[in-house]
Structure 1
Amino acid sequence: MGGVQAKPNAEQRGHAAHIRQMDDNNRATTGQNMLQQQDRQFCNRIIHDPDTNHSPKYDQHLNSLKKQHYPPSPP
């Protein structure tokens, strides 16, 4: 059979949902958005994408958001 199987995008959805939740929490506590509107819409597209396979088209921007908004890992 062979072939390449796509990696499920649960990880992509999880990261997008986490970033969006951080935005929700920031808005609730400070009254200010953490994400720009287009970044929040991007996260929503990933979360609600009906395709359950890994979507490379999301990787570059999602990785950029992770670097920008995730706290640094401890050494």
Structure 2
Amino acid sequence: MEINKFRNLAVNKTFVAGARKLKVSESGEGCQGCCFDSTYGSFCDDLVKHRIIPYCSCKSRADRKNVIFVEV
């Protein structure tokens, strides 16, 4: 998959990060409910940088939506 398409993966789409299948879900604001929230905290930028997870902030995403990642 092209990197820009992955970084802006659409809401309700799924992807694999390691051994976890994750779904992109629209959120209000912040990281509450994200599977990376309590585990990784401020390391999410590194996960994006290394192409492990898509963008989650509305400031970075092409669709301007805040999203979280939920394990499915």
Shared topology, TM-score over 0.5?
no
Q: Work out which of the two has the higher radius of gyration on C-alpha atoms and give 1 or 2.
A: 1
Band the TM-score falls in, shorter-chain normalisation:
under 0.3
Bigger helix fraction: 1
